[in-house]
Structure 1
């Protein structure tokens, strides 16, 4: 007897998103001032180093080799993440200063340079009855390459705007690349311990992002963020993020049909190729950009993050129903 499709659950704001909103409100009402500013900065920098060290320590050499195995699918995901997104971001340039606030447009360009998510890409591929092993490898490969490609692309796309400096590039080497590489080197010694304590260590990811969001928005609020970014700017930003995600998803769906990908590979491509990582993006922005601008720059990423969760929840259920229908008729 065929299994009936599960009833669709209306997507809701998850706890982490609610905590992000709460952190932005706290930073707006009580930003760090005086002696607390360097203290928050130090805690934030330590959080970034620890975050990427744990990411590296959690990634085995075998996982890297496996992530490079299904090279055709991975090339499609990497092309979507690091070519398609940046092209669309550059195409939005005429809107900067007209429909989109220039600082928010810088944030959109930065968003377009970020790697895919890992956990949610895998989760949605699983719900859609897709190729979960391929999604694991594709998302891992995206993040692995993103450690180097994101700063390079960001520097390339924003060089004309002088948004980042050479010092920022060296800072990301010391704060992100070196801890990540050191973590990979120590995987054989501490990888097992990290795997056993993954639920607890997952709090490091979220706590690090919350600390950096508080620091970034606090500084931005003091510098007049909410005076320069209006409700109309936010409304336009939401619409642009929806259009950006929709265009990428439609393109990837069309490519997968043209390439005659299986249902499983199509879902892995769509979900891994259309997502952007908040966990990676916030700490990278904190290192790459001047402190006073980080709040506005991560705002598009925070909005895109929630939109992608809602849209992917709908889409994953749609793929699931299609897969179950195919199983019933076969």
Structure 2
């Protein structure tokens, strides 16, 4: 029964992390220690991503320019504009940092594992899905903060210190992982369970530290039931527009059915694995927690939605 409600085990982990941060947030002298642990976990996460994403498959998959171009355009173009529209629509109704989270959601790259798994379950082009996820995440490490700075105005200004943090905490570990991929990738692939545990632990730590700061700053006193309901409606609207738009774009481009399925999940899903570390890098801890709320809700909802529609797509085929 639980597997039907939460088709991905990471959903209850995220829910438990948010609950723990709400009940037992990091306070006082423990904050620097927790932030140091979060930074170390983020560095490890991006190093492992660099080790895991195959350069040769990326280069091979780029040849399918129609699909990969559509995935890039939808993930970073259409979704960024949808996030900007959601921010503008909710600005009169919600706190500014929370509405900023909708734009932040829109500029993030796609997921890696869950988009590929959903494509496989739906009967899509799995090889193209792996390549799309790799390309989107490679590009996203650089493009996501730049897009955010461009679209968010003064609220998204990426200052020199933030640039240094992005390069040192996100980009350099990723590049280092790519450089040692030849030697470490076989070990990582042979220990997928351990690597996945380390991935999810790193994300959970980053979410816990960021959300703890938001709880200490009074996030639950800043949001009432009406505002939470508005935020949930906005996320639901984004889900409908993103999944529906990606599927419609695949039809408009006359993609093969397998490629349309790949575009659907690669284009419409958004990665908390990049979102949590990037928020911790760009924003002060208290602000990062509030900005992360829309992507946390969207991430959990997309996993559940994908697990429900993927079997139906396979049956239709």
Give the alignment's TM-score, normalised by structure 1. Answer: 0.91
Of 231, 235, 239, the residue aligned with 1:241 is 235
Is the contact between residue 6 and residue 12 of structure 2 (CA under 8 Å) also seen in structure 1?
no
Is the contact between residue 67 and residue 140 of structure 1 (CA under 8 Å) also seen in structure 2?
no
Larger displacement relative to structure 2 (294-303 or 306-315) = 306-315
Is the contact between residue 8 and residue 304 of structure 2 (CA under 8 Å) also seen in structure 1?
no
2:74 paired with 1:74: no
Query: Which residue pairs with 1:319 in the alignment?
Result: 313
| Residues 21-58 of structure 1, C-alpha deviations (whole Å, 9 max, x = no match) | 22212212221122211110110011111110111112
Pair 1:29–1:10, CA change in 2 (3 A): closer
Is the contact between residue 164 and residue 290 of structure 1 (CA under 8 Å) also seen in structure 2?
no
Pair 1:250–1:60, CA change in 2 (3 A): closer
Is the contact between residue 23 and residue 213 of structure 1 (CA under 8 Å) also seen in structure 2?
yes
- For structure 2, list consecutive stretches of 5 or more residues without a partner in the other structure: none
Cα drift, residue 99 of structure 1: 2.6
Q: Secondary structure at the match of 1:92?
A: helix
Of 241, 247, 250, the residue aligned with 1:253 is 247
Is the contact between residue 279 and residue 288 of structure 2 (CA under 8 Å) also seen in structure 1?
yes
Aligned residues: 315
What is the distance in 1 between the residues matched to 2:300 and 2:111?
13
Pair 1:19–1:158, CA change in 2 (3 A): same
| Residues 126-175 of structure 1, C-alpha deviations (whole Å, 9 max, x = no match) | 11111111111111111111111111111112233256433112211111
Q: Secondary structure at the match of 2:34?
A: helix
What is the distance in 2 between the residues matched to 1:33 and 1:290?
15
Of 148, 151, 156, the residue aligned with 1:157 is 151
Query: Which residue pairs with 1:90 in the alignment?
Result: 84
What is the distance in 2 between the residues matched to 1:212 and 1:150?
18
What is the distance in 2 between the residues matched to 1:130 and 1:97?
38
Is the contact between residue 275 and residue 292 of structure 2 (CA under 8 Å) also seen in structure 1?
yes
Query: Which residue pairs with 1:307 in the alignment?
Result: 301
What is the distance in 2 between the residues matched to 1:23 and 1:209?
10
Greater Rg by CA: 1
Query: Which residue pairs with 2:287 in the alignment?
Result: 293
Is the contact between residue 214 and residue 287 of structure 2 (CA under 8 Å) also seen in structure 1?
yes
Is the contact between residue 11 and residue 313 of structure 1 (CA under 8 Å) also seen in structure 2?
no
Q: Secondary structure at the match of 1:170?
A: helix
Of 219, 223, 227, the residue aligned with 2:221 is 227
Give the alignment's TM-score, normalised by structure 2. Answer: 0.95
- For structure 1, list consecutive stretches of 5 or more residues without a partner in the other structure: 1-8, 324-330
2:54 paired with 1:24: no
What is the distance in 1 between the residues matched to 2:295 and 2:284?
17
Of 170, 184, 202, the residue aligned with 2:178 is 184
Cα drift, residue 13 of structure 1: 5.7
Cα drift, residue 15 of structure 1: 3.1
Q: Secondary structure at the match of 1:44?
A: helix
Pair 1:48–1:189, CA change in 2 (3 A): same
Query: Which residue pairs with 1:282 in the alignment?
Result: 276
Cα drift, residue 14 of structure 1: 3.8
Of 138, 157, 168, the residue aligned with 1:174 is 168
Pair 1:247–1:158, CA change in 2 (3 A): same
